[in-house]
């Protein structure tokens, strides 16, 4: 059954998920642009400033399993829309901060709770409800929202900080979330196809009752029921390393790392935009290929290529090498998400998607927290990022190996 104009409303849901991630995750990933301005405004060292990002990742990660449970109770629409409002208010209030502890509370804790509500967990749940077929493609397009936010909002934040100062920049981004994103999500998001008198894309008539039964059962599943399976821990481990090497290390420290290497704001902004643009391409290709390939092998290859890109970064003493790194790393940056999501939904299809993905993304954010803080600490000790990058290369190789030991879906194996 299709909506008027022959466009299934599932595609509207997909666009809204893309838009929500673009806004929220774009703002979250722009933190690196504020590191040096915060250092000057609050007279803090790199390690202490990195603690704000670390705290944010921890709170963001912890909030995701909780968000999964809240989604089961109140629905995705309310969680996503009011999370956008909550993020925006707290980002706006950073404008008035006069001490670093206020930024820790407003951004590191409060806004990060909102980031957890408007994240991959919420959008994966709603996409899973609206897409029975083409799910890998939908996951890829959805995840590209985060890449689009990185491509648009991070360079925009850099430009706004340079032209208007960081205090005005947080006013603009907070207002965008409160005045634009929040009302759009609240009005147009729908939790389930039944709210529009529709079936999910690819859902057969006789699947409706089965699906409803599964939803009832999903809310009763505990962590301990899934913790006995080996693939659950393998998924958490590889995604933990993903968090260290992407949002932790690169998304937090790439901008100051580029500046430390002597690259101008123009070159740095070009590298960030290029990375984000190829990130979107990689995400879309990943979503398409995830429906066709063995996701375990796909993940192993992605981590191997990520290690190679970091080797390029180590030798980035010229602008073209930094841009080459941005291209290669961008292709595999968020590309791990779609195959990880698909493996999780296939391994644990009879369990709560919100619960499972909440724990999977929690592992990612714990890794992100370490990847944000430890390089900042090592920078203060050694005066550079070389140790952190070499460590990330080793971890990516290790993650690549682990992925090949994941069991095939449908064959659950206990620890």
Average pLDDT of 330-339? 89
What is the spatial distance between Cα 357 and Cα 336, in angstroms, rounded to a whole number?
14
The confidence score (pLDDT) of residue 351 equals: 65
Average pLDDT of 261-267? 82
Contacts of 358 (CB under 8 A, 6+ apart): 64, 65, 66, 67, 68, 69, 121
The confidence score (pLDDT) of residue 178 equals: 97
* Higher per-residue pLDDT: 72 or 92: 92
Residue 215 has pLDDT above 80, yes or no: no
The confidence score (pLDDT) of residue 247 equals: 83
Average pLDDT of 360-381? 87
**pLDDT, tens only, 149-204:** 888 898 899 889 989 999 999 999 999 999 999 999 999 999 889 888 888 888 76
CA distances from 312 to 62, 243, 246, 369 (A): 33, 20, 15, 24
* Higher per-residue pLDDT: 138 or 413: 138
What is the spatial distance between Cα 160 and Cα 181, in angstroms, rounded to a whole number?
20
pLDDT level of residue 102 (50, 70, 90 thresholds) = very high
Kindly report the average pLDDT of the chain as a whole number: 85
Domain boundaries, the chain: 4-403
The confidence score (pLDDT) of residue 241 equals: 95
* DSSP bridge partners of 131: 201
* DSSP bridge partners of 229: 414
Do 144 and 337 contact (CB within 8 A), yes or no?
no
Residue 218 has pLDDT above 70, yes or no: no
Q: Which CATH superfamily, name and number, covers 4-403? A: MFS general substrate transporter like domains (1.20.1250.20)
Q: Percent of the chain, pLDDT > 90?
A: 39
Residue 331 has pLDDT above 80, yes or no: yes
Chain mean position to CA 288:
19
The confidence score (pLDDT) of residue 204 equals: 65
φ, ψ dihedrals at 341, nearest 5°: -60, -45
What is the spatial distance between Cα 49 and Cα 41, in angstroms, rounded to a whole number?
11
pLDDT level of residue 6 (50, 70, 90 thresholds) = confident
CB-based burial, 157-172: b 16+ in 10 Å, e otherwise:
bbebbeeeebeebbbe
Four-residue CA torsion sign, 8, 14, 17, 19? negative
Lowest mean pLDDT of 13-22, 86-95, 210-219, name the range.
Answer: 210-219
What's this model's pTM, rounded to 2 decimal places? Answer: 0.73
What angle, rounded to 10 degrees, do the helices at 46-74 and 250-260 form?
Answer: 160
The confidence score (pLDDT) of residue 217 equals: 40
Match 């999977």 to its residue by tokens: 360
The confidence score (pLDDT) of residue 11 equals: 93
The confidence score (pLDDT) of residue 160 equals: 92
- H or E stretch including 272? helix 265-290
Lowest mean pLDDT of 42-51, 227-236, 250-259, name the range.
Answer: 227-236
- Residue 246 DSSP class: I
What is the spatial distance between Cα 13 and Cα 23, in angstroms, rounded to a whole number?
15
**pLDDT, tens only, 115-135:** 989 987 889 889 988 988 877
The confidence score (pLDDT) of residue 226 equals: 67
What is the spatial distance between Cα 194 and Cα 248, in angstroms, rounded to a whole number?
39
C-alpha angle 58-64-67 in degrees, rounded to nearest 5: 140
Do 176 and 88 contact (CB within 8 A), yes or no?
yes
- Residue 180 DSSP class: I
CA distances from 399 to 41, 195, 239, 364 (A): 39, 41, 8, 13
The confidence score (pLDDT) of residue 350 equals: 66
Four-residue CA torsion sign, 370, 376, 377, 379? positive
Locate the DSSP E strands across 338-407. Answer: none
What is the spatial distance between Cα 18 and Cα 3, in angstroms, rounded to a whole number?
20
The confidence score (pLDDT) of residue 221 equals: 54
Q: Provide the residue count of the chain.
A: 415
**pLDDT, tens only, 283-304:** 888 888 888 889 999 999 999 9
């Amino acid at each position: 059954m299709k909506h008027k104009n022959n466009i299934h409303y599932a595609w509207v849901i997909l666009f809204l998920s893309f838009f929500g991630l673009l806004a929220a995750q774009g703002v979250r990933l722009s933190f690196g642009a504020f590191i040096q301005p915060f250092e000057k405004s609050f007279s803090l060292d790199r390690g202490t400033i990195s603690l704000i990002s670390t705290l944010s990742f921890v709170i963001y990660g912890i909030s995701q399993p909780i968000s999964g449970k809240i989604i089961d109770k109140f629905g995705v629409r309310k969680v996503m829309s009011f999370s956008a409002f909550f993020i925006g208010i707290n980002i706006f209030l950073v404008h008035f901060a006069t001490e670093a502890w206020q930024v820790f509370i407003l951004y590191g804790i409060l806004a990060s709770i909102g980031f957890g509500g408007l994240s991959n967990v919420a959008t994966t749940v709603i996409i899973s409800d609206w897409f029975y077929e083409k799910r890998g493609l939908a996951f890829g397009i959805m995840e590209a929202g985060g890449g689009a936010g990185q491509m648009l909002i991070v360079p925009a934040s850099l430009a706004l900080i340079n032209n208007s100062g960081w205090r005005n920049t947080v006013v603009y981004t907070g207002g965008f979330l409160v005045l634009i994103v929040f009302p759009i999500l609240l009005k147009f998001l729908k939790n389930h196809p039944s709210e529009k008198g529709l079936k999910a894309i690819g859902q057969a008539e006789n699947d409706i009752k089965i699906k409803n039964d599964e939803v009832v059962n999903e809310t009763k599943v505990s962590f301990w029921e899934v913790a006995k399976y080996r693939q659950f821990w393998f998924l958490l481990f590889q995604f933990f390393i993903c968090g260290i090497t992407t949002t932790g290390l690169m998304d937090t420290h790439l901008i100051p790392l580029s500046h430390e290497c002597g690259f101008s704001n123009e070159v740095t902004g070009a590298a960030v935009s290029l990375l984000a643009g190829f990130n979107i391409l990689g995400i879309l290709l990943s979503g398409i290929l995830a429906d066709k390939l063995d996701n375990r092998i796909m993940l192993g290859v992605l981590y191997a290529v990520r290690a190679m890109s970091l080797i390029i970064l180590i030798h980035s003493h010229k602008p073209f090498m930094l841009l080459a790194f941005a291209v290669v790393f961008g292709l595999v940056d968020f590309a791990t998400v779609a195959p990880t999501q698909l493996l999780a939904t296939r391994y644990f299809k009879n369990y709560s998607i919100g619960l499972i993905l909440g724990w999977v993304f929690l592992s990612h954010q714990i890794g992100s927290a370490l990847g944000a803080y430890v390089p900042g600490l090592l920078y203060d000790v050694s005066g550079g990022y070389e140790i952190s990058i070499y460590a990330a290369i080793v971890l990516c190789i290790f993650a690549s190996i682990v992925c090949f030991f994941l069991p095939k879906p449908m064959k659950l194996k206990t620890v």
